[in-house]
Structure 1
Amino acid sequence: MSAVAIMQPYLLPYIGYWQLLLASDCFVIYDDVNYINRGWINRNRILINDEPGLITLPLLRASQNRKINEIKIAPTEQWQRRMLASVEMAYRKAPCFDQVLPLVERILNYENNNLAQFLTHQIQALANFMGLKTRIVPSSQVYGNAHLTAQERILDICRQEGATRYINAQGGQSLYQPSAFANAGIDLKFIAMQPLPYRQRGKAFTPYLSIIDTLMEVGTEGIGPHLAAYDYL
């Protein structure tokens, strides 16, 4: 069985994103679809003073009428040092701080102002750090099917990859027709994340934060059970 997952690139995404990578043989970064305002493409949450707080990658002329790979990141002097300082201040007492902060620094110092390429680089860097061997493919560079839309494009990518299973997050259930996948010989599955509590800097466990929160607290040695904490629907 060959499994494919397809998802827009997000900034330092939460654990459920990485569960899709773990469950798939090929993870397609959907970078030539329209940008989504106030979503997770250029922002995420970390624990700041015991409360979830946003870190945001500032963009130039971002619009939902433009594709993700057409958008540029603001000059680094406007955000890079400030974001790194926020992460450092939030997690300097975390048990795996010394292991994880250099990775965050390498990600934020990546010298490419194309949003899609910056996010693809950090997804690959984080996957390598966590030992995920999934093949990662930007949709804009391979499939040549941007003229297709919605479900038909997903099915075409699956066909081109020779996939027998397509995996999506639980929230995508309303987007797809199971019969269309069944007719194509593709098993349609959805992942339901089961948040596995771990010790945080806050008073109570806060799920669905950036993967940086998880890694700061459990490190690479402890990340395995959290990656595997999901069910198929």
Structure 2
Amino acid sequence: MKTICAMQPYLFPYLPYFQLAKEVETFWVLDDVQFIRRGWMNRNRILLNGNPHQVTFPLAKAPRDALVCDMRLADQFQEAMGRLERTVEHAYGSTIGYSRVKELLEPLKNPASDSFLDVTLHCLQACFEILGLSTKLRLSSELNLSTELRGQDRIVEICQSVNATRYVNPIGGQSLYDAEAFAEKGIELFFLKGALAPYPQVGCSEFQPGLSILDVFAHLKPNEISLMMDSYELITKGNQPVCNEPRPPETCRVLS
């Protein structure tokens, strides 16, 4: 049984992105698909003065149909990262995990490449290491798939190309995929529903969910982060919880 997922690359995405990585053997990064403008690949939110605050990693202008692998950092990227560093210090300077967050951002002040993809992969790998994930990051462009393949057809083809028998997608994609279409190719389809359990946030009286993984790293100890990583459920198209292997019903992956 071989389990994979396929997602666009994001800079410091929220916790369920990494829960998805924990559930699979190989995480296929979709680098040969169109970059989503005004999306979240190069944007995120941190907690500033008790409120969600959007941060942007500026990219150079590119054609509307540019692929993820074609995107480059903007000329003012380093300047923007200097401002971000100061914002993050103001936001998380008093937290137990600030040094960890600062260390993650340090390479962005002088990136070794102007490739958005290279920088994002470096940051994702650094987060994987902190979270203790051994999941392999691979690029979908390695598979040389037809450029005509879109949506579900592309995902099914990725699965077949690498002999995957299980595919896991974030819960938000339930309406996009047909379990029968996967089953016809011998692939089981599952959806991961992350549980964003509240945790203490500095200067915040009401928990703000769905922020960047940087917020988790800032506020929680390693053992607490480990517990958070296990707080998700794997479901089928019909919203039924799934056990990954034979075990008592009460220990099925429904750990919210």
- TM-score with structure 1 setting the length: 0.95
- 1:218 matched to which residue of 2? 220
Which whole-Å deviations, capped at 9, do the CAs of 1:53-88 have from their partners, x for residues lacking one? Answer: 011011111454211111111123331211111111
Q: Is the 8 A contact 1:45 1:210 kept in 2?
A: yes
Which whole-Å deviations, capped at 9, do the CAs of 1:85-129 have from their partners, x for residues lacking one? Answer: 111111001112123321221355432111111111111111112
- 1:143 matched to which residue of 2? 143
CA RMSD, Structure 1 to Structure 2 (Å): 1.4
**Runs ≥4 in structure 1, deviation > 6 angstroms?**
none
Which whole-Å deviations, capped at 9, do the CAs of 1:168-197 have from their partners, x for residues lacking one? Answer: 001111111111110111110001111111
Question: What is the percentage of aligned positions where both structures have the same residue?
Answer: 36
- 1:77 matched to which residue of 2? 78
How many angstroms apart in 2 are the aligned matches of 1:27 and 1:77? 29
Shift of 1:135: 0.7
How many angstroms apart in 2 are the aligned matches of 1:5 and 1:172? 12
Q: Is the 8 A contact 2:4 2:25 kept in 1?
A: yes
How many angstroms apart in 1 are the aligned matches of 2:24 and 2:232? 13
Letter in 1 for 2:10: Y
SS of the equivalent of 2:9 reads coil
How many angstroms apart in 1 are the aligned matches of 2:69 and 2:134? 24
How many angstroms apart in 1 are the aligned matches of 2:146 and 2:90? 42
How many angstroms apart in 1 are the aligned matches of 2:227 and 2:214? 16
Q: Is the 8 A contact 2:12 2:123 kept in 1?
A: yes
- Quick one: structure 1 residues 108 and 196, their matched pair in 2 at CA, closer, same or farther if it must change by over 3 Å? farther
- Quick one: structure 1 residues 63 and 205, their matched pair in 2 at CA, closer, same or farther if it must change by over 3 Å? farther
- Using the TM superposition, name which of 76-85 and 130-139 deviates more: 76-85
Q: Is the 8 A contact 2:59 2:71 kept in 1?
A: yes
Give runs of aligned pairs for residues 22-41 of structure 1, distance below 5 A: 22-41=22-41
Larger radius of gyration: 2
How many angstroms apart in 2 are the aligned matches of 1:45 and 1:146? 35
SS of the equivalent of 1:6 reads strand
> Is 1:114–2:120 an aligned residue pair?
no
Q: Where does the alignment leave 5 or more consecutive residues of structure 2 unmatched?
A: 236-256
- Quick one: structure 1 residues 57 and 99, their matched pair in 2 at CA, closer, same or farther if it must change by over 3 Å? closer
Q: Is the 8 A contact 1:34 1:66 kept in 2?
A: yes
How many angstroms apart in 2 are the aligned matches of 1:84 and 1:138? 29
- Quick one: structure 1 residues 163 and 25, their matched pair in 2 at CA, closer, same or farther if it must change by over 3 Å? same
Letter in 1 for 2:189: L
SS of the equivalent of 1:72 reads coil
- Quick one: structure 1 residues 109 and 130, their matched pair in 2 at CA, closer, same or farther if it must change by over 3 Å? farther
Q: Is the 8 A contact 2:104 2:123 kept in 1?
A: no
Higher relative contact order (CA 8 A, sep 6+): 1
> How many residues are aligned here?
232
- 2:241 matched to which residue of 1? none
Q: Is the 8 A contact 1:7 1:28 kept in 2?
A: yes
- Quick one: structure 1 residues 11 and 99, their matched pair in 2 at CA, closer, same or farther if it must change by over 3 Å? closer
> Is 1:209–2:211 an aligned residue pair?
yes
- Quick one: structure 1 residues 82 and 103, their matched pair in 2 at CA, closer, same or farther if it must change by over 3 Å? same
- Using the TM superposition, name which of 156-165 and 166-175 deviates more: 156-165
- 2:238 matched to which residue of 1? none
- 1:51 matched to which residue of 2? 51
- 1:171 matched to which residue of 2? 172
How many angstroms apart in 1 are the aligned matches of 2:126 and 2:145? 27
Q: Is the 8 A contact 1:35 1:63 kept in 2?
A: no
- Quick one: structure 1 residues 103 and 189, their matched pair in 2 at CA, closer, same or farther if it must change by over 3 Å? same
